[in-house]
Structure formats: structure tokens, C-alpha cells
Amino acid sequence: MFQRRNNPDLPNMEAAPRRDRPLFASHLLAFGLVVLAGCSVAPLPELKPPVPDAWRNAPAGVTPPSADLRGWWQALGDPTLDALIDRALRNNLDVAQAAERLRAARSVNHHSRDGYLPSLHGRTNDVIDPDTTASYFVVGFDAVWELPLFGAWQSAKRASQGQENSASAALRGARVSLVAEVSRRWIELRSAQEQARLLGGIRDALQEKLRLVQVREQLKLAPPVEVAKAQAELARAEAALAEPQQTIIASAQQLAVLLGQPEPDPEWLTPGPQPRLGEWQLTTAPADMLRTRPEIATAEADVLRAAGELGVSRADIWPHIGLGASLQWSTNILSNYRVHTGEAISSFGPIIDVPLFDWGQRVAAAHVKDHELKAAVYAYRQAVLQGVAEAETAMGDLEQLRMREDASQRAVAALDSSMAALRKRAELNLGSHLDVQDGLIENQRAQLELTSAIAARDLAYVSLYKALGGAPMPNPPVPAPKAPGTGSTD
């Protein structure tokens, strides 16, 4: 650095400088900085998601317009489920963690370029001469500004913006998973309660059948083997009751965890109507899956972050150029003889940090980041393929389960007519009460199959909208104030 010593006791030994030399040096420095600043960041890799032109497993006639995924669970027609999802979005701890991480990422992103702003350091020091004839108190200021050349400014912003986008996608993913999981657990809970009710009816009918068979056996109208068969059927029915009860307990406890509370609400354990899509059909297939699916948004954010890190590593290969200034003032605080007690020294000039012996290591680091960027692009393409596959599978499942539910509904309707006929014949003494119990058992089993079909279709509906990135999309839960003086992300 060029230093000038300001000492009023020293004579002015400098010759009159020529005025054109500083002007020429300033213009040369400015021209060099402009040229270096022109080495801007490399363009982002183009992302071409391999998506199909149309959904292969969507029902015939379904067109892919824009999708509105707000409140998709309301198609299940269960106000209690709507209230549970609202509570879960407010109280779930996973969502709260993701929101805090997003706030942290945004705070870092707002100051991502501060490292390339001028910095000022102040210091004080007591300097004692070796001859112990004087002691000086020194006050100084150092100012350094490393110029953000070779795309370092934009690359640092990209890397930080990628981190924020990734945190935002994580929050989105937490909300999507939460809504889907609450819906799934509630469907399983209500379906298990309905299954328990139907299995209880089958058990009661089998008990009555066993009684009738025992009477017939006492009257020598049925062999003992018929009694044994009826007893075995009753035992299997009683054993089958354990499975829905286990589902009820597990689903209720998981719902409590999802809502951020230690125990389930007592009213959950009271049987209620089963959520059902009813006449709902898939009439539109969302085409903007890439915008809403959190896994794809995360992969895209990773590409942006990797591109920023690559730019920073490439900029680190070249010399670091900056401007520096220093001002130091000292005074003699202890002396054995009278001397001048105040002096000031200032300096100003460019700072150049040239990598020499570690240059190869920096180049290798840049190559590493280049490969990581390519890997991030491949991961993005894989995320898109996975999203398309999950959506196609869910669409196919939903359509097949709709047909299964319709067939089960027709079976129940047919058995209801048959049951009415059996009861009428029993009233006219044209049929036995044993036939009535057999018909009742068959009818209850058909309703049990219908309950399972309804639950399977509901769960396929949940899986579809989870695959499409479905979740409530209200105003962002985390405010994103714009940092002063910031514009676009690059």
C-alpha cells in the first residue's frame, strides 16, 4: 500500500506531483474493474422436465386445466375432518419446525451479499518501545472492500436463494404430508368404527344362528357337525373384531400426535359416519403439478443452490481484488523526555490476493461443484419422473376403486332385496328363521366389503392429491419482507 506519514515536525520532502498521473491511474483502475465485473455469472442450466402431454390413466374426457388444490379434502363431506385439518395446520410441530427453518433461511438470504460490502474495523493498542523510554497509545481504523468480481455477487445470491427455496419447499412438503396424513388417519378411524359395527352385527347374527342350530340339533333335525361349524364361525367373527379395534386405537393416537396434543379427543372414539366421496368423480387433472409438488420444488431449489456454489468456487479460482484504507493515530502516554506526542498515518490502495500454491486445489473444488450441479439436474429430472409415476398410479387406482365401490353398492342393494324377501317368507311360514340369519350375515358381509371399498377409494383420493402436491394454499404463513436495496434473485 501507499502510505503517507503526517508529521507536522518533518519538513515537506515531497516534490510537487504531476496531476495527470493520479488521474491516469484512477481511470486505469476503473477500466480494469469494469472489465473484471463483466465476467458475470454463468447462466443457469435449462430444466426440461420429461412430463407426458396427457395423463395416461385419467378417465376418458378428462382435460388438464389449471388445478385449485385448496380444500380438496372437503369433497369427503366431513365437517369434523375439516376442523381437524385446520387445527393440525395451526398446532402441528413438524410444520412449526419447518416454518422456523424457513424464517432462518430467509434471514440469511436477506444478507447473502453483505460479505461483499465494505467493512470497517477499529482497534486500540498499547505499544511499548524495547528501550522502555516511551509508551504509545494507538488508535486505528481499517476499511476493506473486496470487489464482487467474476460473478461472485450473483453466485452468492443464487446459493442463498436456493437455500431459502429449499426451506420453503420443506414447509410446503410438511403441510402436504400433514393434510394427507390427517385425512388418512381420520378415514381409517371412521372406517374401522363402521367395520367394528358391522362385525358386531355379524357376531350377533352368528350367535342367533348357533342358537337355532343347537335347537335343530336337539330336535334331531341337524347333525352335531352343524353345531360345530356354527361355533367355529362365531369364534372367527369374534376374533375379527380385534383388528378394527386396533386400528381405532392407533389412528386416534396418531391423530393426537398430528394435532400436537398428548391424547386423543374423547369424541373421536364415538362412532360417526364414514367419510365418502359419493358421486364425486375426477373431472379435471391438474397440469401444474410441477409448481405444487414439494419434492420437485426441492429438487429445483437444489439446482439453484448448486449453481450458486459452482459460481462461488469458480470466482475463488481468480485473484481477489479489493480496496483498502487505514488510518492510525498514536500518542506518547509515558516518556522520559519531552518529545512530540501526536502522529497520524493513513494509507489507501488496492488489495490483491492471488492464489498460487493452492490454485490447483481451488480448480479441483470448482470441478467438484460442477459435478454436483449436474447431479442436481439429474435429481430434478428424477423427481419429475417420480411425481408423474405417482400421479398416474393414483389416478389409475382411483378409477378402479370407483368401479369397485359401485359394484359393492349394487351387491348390497341386491342383498337388501333378498333380505326383505327372506323376512317376508319367514313371516308367512314359508321359510325358516335360520335362512333369515344366513341372509342377514351375508348382507352384513356385503356391507363390510362396501365399507372397505369406500375407505380404499377415499385413501386413493388422498394419495392422488398428495402426489399432485395438494395442500391448502392460503397466504404464506411466514412473512417475507423484502430486504432494502434488493431486486431480483440474481
Q: For 95-123, what is each residue's pLDDT tens digit?
A: 999 999 999 998 888 887 777 777 777 77
DSSP string, 348-405: EEEEEE---TTHHHHHHHHHHHHHHHHHHHHHHHHHHHHHHHHHHHHHHHHHHHHHHH
The pLDDT mean for the chain works out to 78
Distance CA 188, CA 455 (A): 7
Grid cell 342350530 is found at 213
Q: For 55-107, what is each residue's pLDDT tens digit?
A: 667 666 554 434 456 778 888 889 999 999 999 999 999 999 999 999 999 88
Lowest mean pLDDT across 211-215, 288-292, 371-375, 465-469: 288-292
Grid cell 381420520 is found at 186
Query: Is residue 232 pLDDT above 70, yes or no?
Result: yes
- pLDDT score, position 95: 92
Which residues touch 35 (CB under 8 Å, ≥6 apart)? none
Query: Is residue 13 pLDDT above 60, yes or no?
Result: no
Q: How confident is residue 125, by pLDDT bands cut at 50, 70 and 90?
A: low
| Biggest distance spanned by C-alpha atoms of the chain | 139
With contact defined as beta carbons under 8 Å apart, do 201 and 448 qualify? Answer: no
The stretches of 19-125 forming alpha helices (DSSP H) are 20-37, 79-91, 93-110
Distance CA 380, CA 295 (A): 9
Which residues touch 483 (CB under 8 Å, ≥6 apart)? 110, 111
Kindly state the cell numbers that stand for 380: 430434478
Kindly state the cell numbers that stand for 232: 367355529
- pLDDT score, position 333: 63
- Give 26 or 258, the one with higher predicted confidence: 258
Q: How confident is residue 357, by pLDDT bands cut at 50, 70 and 90?
A: confident
Q: For residue 319, which of 156, 159, 150, 145 has the smallest C-alpha distance?
A: 150
Domains of the chain (ranges, CATH numbers): 59-113+148-318+355-467 (1.20.1600.10)
Kindly state the cell numbers that stand for 472: 391448502
Q: For residue 473, which of 66, 47, 54, 49 has the smallest C-alpha distance?
A: 66
pTM of the model: 0.76
